[in-house]
């Protein structure tokens, strides 16, 4: 037990506090239902550019990524074209992708897309033990158009619906910055037409990270220094993360 762990009380006292929290949890659930409904009601934009990707079976187009499904989710995985391995935090997120049959049962396909060459993606996927489809967008405008590769020499910088001036106002480190960022995008197919319905970036992608939600159920939470209660961890956000084969024997042997 640490000095910041919760107070020890009787079962009766705990039940009073738990029931009070349940009221707030139900409010949050209802609010999330409303937000999800608003997301589904967003207008959509037709995708008319012919994006092509490198896949295990050769060149494919955006419609090909749907397979037989009418919906497509894409995770924009940060993997620089000249990098030897993928982003640790994106790797953490992809470790939370399970069997895709549950998505297919709802007429929805899933794929990851990165700018690294396909051989690098395939090598890293084998190392990580992942089985989801992963495609290279190298040479395509796809990453730039969906604002997950930032390079003012190619396209105006925008991330998380803020332009460069707005980003710099939040953090001067954004000034002149170029490189890869992460995100999630959703698409809908109607006949031969493809529509972009949604994209989320930065912490907007946390909803797909099950590990975080499991930790949020515990008394010590994520043990990161931003959490609102008295400090139960000194780690800056995500600084503790490693690729799952890099934690060392004490963690890997669990």
User: What is the third-level CATH fold of 44-207?
Assistant: Glutaredoxin (3.40.30)
pLDDT, greater one: 54 or 220: 54
Q: Cα angle at 243 between 239 and 246, to 5 degrees?
A: 100
For the cut 70, the answer to whether the pLDDT of residue 171 exceeds it is yes
Asked if 168 and 174 touch (Cβ cutoff 8 Å), the reply is: yes
For the cut 80, the answer to whether the pLDDT of residue 239 exceeds it is no
Give the tens place of pLDDT for each residue, 18-46: 999 999 999 999 999 999 999 999 999 99
Dmax over CA atoms of the chain, in Å, equals 64
- The tokens for 102 are 């549950």
pLDDT for position 241: 82
Specify the pTM.
0.92
**Percent of the chain whose predicted confidence (pLDDT) is above 90:** 83
Asked if 67 and 149 touch (Cβ cutoff 8 Å), the reply is: no
Ranges in the chain annotated CATH 3.40.30.10: 44-207
- Produce one character per residue of 11-41: b if its CB has 16 or more CB atoms within 10 Å, e if not: eeeeeeeeeeeeeeeeeeeeeeeeeeeeeee
The DSSP 8-state label assigned to residue 235 in this structure reads: B
Model confidence at 231, in pLDDT bands (50, 70, 90)?
A: low
Model confidence at 80, in pLDDT bands (50, 70, 90)?
A: very high
For the cut 60, the answer to whether the pLDDT of residue 4 exceeds it is yes
Least Cα distance to 100 among 65, 76, 136 occurs for: 65
pLDDT, greater one: 70 or 1: 70
């Amino acid at each position: 037990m640490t000095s910041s762990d919760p107070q020890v009380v009787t079962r009766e006292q705990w039940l009073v506090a738990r029931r009070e929290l349940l009221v707030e949890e139900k409010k949050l659930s209802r609010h999330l239902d409303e937000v999800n409904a608003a997301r589904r009601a967003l207008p959509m934009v037709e995708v008319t550019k012919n994006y092509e990707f490198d896949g295990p079976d050769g060149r494919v187009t955006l419609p090909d990524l749907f397979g037989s499904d009418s919906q497509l989710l894409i995770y924009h995985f940060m993997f620089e074209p000249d990098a030897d391995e993928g982003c640790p935090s994106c790797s953490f997120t992809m470790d939370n992708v399970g069997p895709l049959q549950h998505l297919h049962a709802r007429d929805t396909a899933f794929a990851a897309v990165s700018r690294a060459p396909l051989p690098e993606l395939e090598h890293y996927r084998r190392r990580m033990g992942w089985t989801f489809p992963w495609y290279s967008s190298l040479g395509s405008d796809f990453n730039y158009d969906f604002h997950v590769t930032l390079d003012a020499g190619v396209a105006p910088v925008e991330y998380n619906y803020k332009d460069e001036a707005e980003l710099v106002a939040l953090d001067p480190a954004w000034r002149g910055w170029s490189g890869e960022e992460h995100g999630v995008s959703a698409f809908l197919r109607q006949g031969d037409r493809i529509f972009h319905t949604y994209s989320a970036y930065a912490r907007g992608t946390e909803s797909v990270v099950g590990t975080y939600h499991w930790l949020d159920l515990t008394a010590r939470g994520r043990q990161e220094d931003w959490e609102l209660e008295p400090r139960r961890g000194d780690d800056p956000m995500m600084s503790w993360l490693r690729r799952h084969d890099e934690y060392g024997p004490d963690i890997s042997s669990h």
